[in-house]
């Protein structure tokens, strides 16, 4: 008889998942932050992240792909 042992193999999700980085201030954006993200209006290839602070102060961001700068 084979005894099946249930292994609680809840492999912990790796915490090292890369955080998005604010395109304006280059700070990592935490999961709970009220950051906004949108695709670059110019090339559409890059997902631009803006942290709460940068939204508040409407800092400029720069697309790393096409160099588009905008508020
Ligand atoms: Zn920022
Ligand atoms: Zn772009």
38 CA distance to ligand 1 middle (Å): 14
Q: How far is the CA of 14 from the centre of ligand 2 (A)?
A: 30
What residue ranges of the chain have pLDDT lower than 50? 14-15
Domain borders along the chain are: 18-71
Between the alpha carbon of residue 29 and those of residues 8, 11, 25, 38, 49, the distances in Å are 32, 25, 10, 14, 8
The strand pair at 61-62 and 36-39 is best described as unpaired
pLDDT, position 25: 94
pTM beyond 0.85: no
pLDDT at res. 65? 93
Residues within 5 Å of ion ligand 2, judged at the Cβ atom: 40, 42-43, 46, 63, 65-66, 68
Q: Please tell me the distance between residue 8's alpha carbon and the centre of ligand 2 in angstroms.
A: 45
């Amino acid at each position: 008889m084979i005894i099946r042992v249930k292994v609680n193999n809840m492999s912990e999700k790796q915490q090292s998942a890369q955080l998005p980085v604010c395109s304006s201030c280059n700070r990592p954006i935490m999961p709970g932050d009220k950051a906004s993200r949108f695709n670059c209006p110019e090339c559409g290839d890059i997902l631009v992240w803006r942290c709460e602070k940068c939204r508040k102060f409407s800092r400029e961001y720069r697309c790393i792909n096409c160099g588009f700068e905008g508020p």
